[in-house]
Structure 1
Amino acid sequence: MPVRPELLRGAAEVEVTQRGIRPHRLPAWVREQFPDGQLLAMESQSSGVRLVFQTAASEVELVTHPTRIAYLGAERPRGRLDVYAAGQLIVRDELDGGDRFEVDLASGQTAFHPGAAHTTRVAGLPAGRHRIEVWLPHNETVDLIELRADAPIEPDDARLPLWVHHGSSISQGSNALAPSEIWPAVAARRAGVELRNLGLGGSSFVDPFLARVIRDAPADYISVKLGINVVNLDGMRLRTFVPAVHGFLDTIRDGHPEVPLVLISPLFCGIHEDTPGPGAIDPVSIGSDQVRFVATGTPGDVALGRLTLQVVRRELRSLAERRTADKNLHYLDGTSLYGSADAAELPLPDGLHPSPEAHQRIGTRFAEYAFAGTGPFAR
């Protein structure tokens, strides 16, 4: 049968395509207002989006058609689908086929290569009625074509507290092994909450439209991790960054005046700790086993308001301290999730994004900070 939109969690809406339905993490009005290519590519990748349903089936098949961006000389692992039954991971299925947009990093030229649909098969499910949760790939776009089973499929009506999180490619899950192992998913699963992930690779710029999306979204908890993309792009100076964050938080508060809100500063990233952007791919690394990122600014060049990660952390902490009237606003230094000691033990493979092991550590630490004990999201 066709995939029914009501089975989806973590998406803003769906687009009806020639093949089926495509989940989008941002609403159509944002995509129309600001059709930036990077933003559109990232928001259509289904990070944090799940199919959730109840069934007594012993076998289930999901047919999808993936679309991915591939880089010549910088091959990345394919996306995966993680299937859970009654809370236990039973299938981790790596995608094959699908459409591929291939980008030549040296020349900038692109080529399109069409491919076939992909079928994820789950057999031998336990007897009786059970809850199935399918985490869609965090790094590829998928059209959902068909959902087959040997027993009826029904929506799951159970609703957990909803956590809305916004951040950069690290929050979207870059370098994570699988969709349920990106750090926000690790934290959400440990805490037993629903996740809506607005981590957007290369697209976390304190954009007013993102604040409006969060303002209008149902949410029991909210977190925003800001700064790394602004530094990567060299997109703001100190004078514009701080008021922009104030405005971003003010807009969220227009819709959620009392919801617990955590403002997270950037994780440790050695290339940008004391060096402004722009960031770039190191041309020497293209075609090697591991493409790496570099900062092209001048170390220590902050006198004219240029931003480094150290400056951003200092200013976000100060900003939070000046908003003391907001008793439900909490500041979290990102280096408490992944700091210099962690980088020595679990280095950033490409100089910018955490390893799979680091995603596990970051997610575990955030869950312990936010959801446990007297944390800001503790129930």
Structure 2
Amino acid sequence: MNSPHDPAPAPDSFVASRGADWITTPLTPERAADLLRGALEVERTEHGVLPHRLPARARVQCADEQLARAEAQPSGVRLVLRTRATTIELDALRTKMGYHGAPPRPDGVYDLLVDGALTRQAGVHGGNVLMMDMTTGTTETVPGPVGTVRFAGLPDRMKDVEIWLPHNEITELVALRTDAPVEPVRDRGRKVWLHHGSSISHGSDAVSPTAIWPALAASLGGVELINLGLSGSALLDPFTARALRDTPADMISVKIGINIVNTDLMRLRAFGPALHGFLDTIREGHPATPLLVVSPILCPIHEDTPGPAAPDFSDISEGRLRFAAMGDPAERAAGKLTLGVIRDELSRIVKQRAADDAHIHYLDGRDLYGRADHAELPLPDELHPDAATHRLMGERFAALAFGSGGPFAGESRS
């Protein structure tokens, strides 16, 4: 009989081959799906498997390359396994962004957690670089080899291990090797928080995948995160609403506004009905799930000035990129949207819907990051928060949403 301290035997389906000291766990779509959290779908590729944060039926409805890159960057996606292994190796093929005329961007980071505590951080070398010309929008892929991330010296005991994939690099998983068997973690009894937002929710300018504000908030709230923060693509798309509708969750939040303004996507006449339709679709699958609508955080360039936003390349050679609002405040009279207009409309619509929906709530994004915060922690590129602000937002969201009296306090799965 096994001791309770002995590792449980790995199911045959999880052990493909053993070397002298290694066990290789095959990463087929089916087996990877058993180990992955935070992905809605897993695609087989030439090298291994690619986690997706939107299903194929959504991806085929939009040919936007920005969206394709964003949903394939595994923000919030992590391998979760139980093992006694002291060494873990993960082969991966990354695709990172690069910009002509700018210094190389920092490498993505893999965060390894042991029983919930951040224990190691590492990166993968090699991989592809998707070079973009910011002046023309054209891209070119420079191919590179598969790399390996290695975590050694882990505690020699049974433990839950999470490997959070880089939030800002497309990551194909090729092979997983360990010096002890691994098994999936079937159920940790945590509620599931499904979140949708812009690049800020995706994690722009955060230092690592567990340091993006939704991951910090989820950790503080003790919930499992599914992050549909899609850089540049929180645009009230119907296919995103259907993905939210069809994903099991105990609580849902949607952070709406900044992308609609900085893309100059629509006018006030279209925004209200589009928001209603987005929320109606979510409610088709989650009629009584707590639903929190979050307005934009403070962004001074767009508070009273419509979009579009345009990049300022004057300091790009030094690695600094800024954005500016190109609209005219006078255009608000013609229905052009600013963050102030968006907040008023979000608040009005949530209040209207709350008359028939006791489970819908509103949070002003300036409660996460407002004017006093901007004075102390300005947005480095005028749009995206830095690492300290991600932490601030995560702590505040956890207190406001998961804390006593918050919309996500004490709820159960619907």
Shorter-chain TM-score above 0.5: yes
SS in 2 for 1:14: strand
AA aligned opposite 2:361: H
Matched, 1:262 2:292: yes
Residues 1:165 and 2:200 are matched in the alignment: no
2:386 counterpart of 1:355: yes
Separation in 1, partners of 2:71, 2:384? 18
Cα distance in 1 for residues equivalent to 2:49 and 2:319: 36
- Tell me the distance in 2 between the aligned counterparts of 1:94 and 1:276: 39
Indicate whether 1:141 and 2:160 are aligned. Answer: no
Please state how far the C-alpha of 1:109 moved relative to its aligned partner.
4.2
Q: Percent identity?
A: 54
- Structure 1 residue 210 and structure 2 residue 222: aligned? no
1:58 aligned partner: 86
Residue 117 of structure 1: which of 146, 151, 158 is its match?
A: 146
Sort the Cα spacing of 1:344 and 1:95 in 2 relative to 1 into closer, same or farther, 3 A. farther
2:118 corresponds to which residue?
Answer: 89
Residue 92 of structure 1: how far off its partner (Å): 1.1
Per-residue deviation, 1:329: 0.3
**Are 1:339 and 2:370 an aligned pair?**
yes
Which residue does 1:10 correspond to in 2? Answer: 38
Q: Report the equivalent of 1:250.
A: 280
TM superposition shift of 1:107: 4.5
TM-score (norm 1): 0.98
Structure 2 counterpart SS, 1:18: coil
Map of 1:1-379 to 2, 5 A cutoff? 1=24, 2-3=26-27, 4-5=31-32, 6-74=34-102, 75-159=104-188, 160-323=190-353, 324-379=355-410
Please say if residues 73 and 105 of structure 1, whose CA atoms lie closer than 8 Å, have aligned partners that are also in contact: no
SS at 1:267 equivalent: coil
Aligned counterparts of 1:314 and 1:248: Cα–Cα separation in 2: 18
Q: How many residues align?
A: 379
Aligned partners of 1:28, 1:320: CA distance in 2, in Å? 31
Are 2:92 and 2:124, in contact at CA under 8 Å, matched by a contact in 1?
no
3-state secondary structure, aligned to 1:206: coil
Q: Deviations over 1:29-84 (max 9, x none)?
A: 11112222111110000000010000011111111110122112344322110000
Provide the rounded CA distance (Å) in 2 between the counterparts of 1:321 and 1:300: 28
Q: In 2, are the aligned partners of 1:271 and 1:295 still within 8 Å (CA)?
A: yes
User: Following the alignment from structure 1 to structure 2, what is the Cα–Cα distance between the partners of residues 358 and 69?
Assistant: 23
Residue 334 of structure 2 aligns to a residue whose secondary structure is: coil
Q: Which has the larger radius of gyration?
A: 2
Q: Which position in structure 1 is the counterpart of 2:4? A: none
Change (3 A) 1:107 1:209: closer
* Partners of 1:179 and 1:95 in 2: CA distance: 14
Task: Name 2:18's counterpart in structure 1.
Answer: none
What RMSD in Å do the two structures reach over aligned CA positions?
1.2
Amino acid at match of 2:258: I
> What one-letter code is carried by the residue in structure 1 that aligns with 2:324?
V
Contact 1:60–1:149 under 8 Å retained in 2: yes
Superimposed CA distance per residue, residues 267-326 of structure 1 (whole angstroms, 9 cap, x where no aligned partner): 100110110000110132332331101110013430011100011001111111111211
Q: Is the 8 A contact 1:15 1:23 kept in 2?
A: yes
CA distance in 1, matches of 2:338, 2:262: 9
CA distance in 1, matches of 2:287, 2:257: 23
Structure-2 separation of matches of 1:104 and 1:34 = 22
Secondary structure (helix, strand or coil) at the match of 2:47 reads: coil
Q: For 1:255 and 1:111, how far apart are their aligned partners in 2?
A: 40
Q: Cα gap change, 1:39/1:376 in structure 2, threshold over 3 Å: closer, same or farther?
A: same
Kindly provide the amino acid, as one letter, of the partner of residue 55 in structure 2. P
Q: Which amino acid aligns with 1:152?
A: P
What do residues 165-197 of structure 1 show as CA deviations (whole Å, max 9, x unaligned)?
000000000010000010000000111110000
Q: Deviations over 1:321-350 (max 9, x none)?
A: 111211100000000000111111111111
Give the distance between the partners of 1:117 and 1:298, measured in 2 at CA: 48
Give, in angstroms, the shift of residue 246 of structure 1: 0.8
Deviation digits for residues 237-280 of structure 1, max 9, x if unmatched? Answer: 00100111011111111110100000000010011011000011
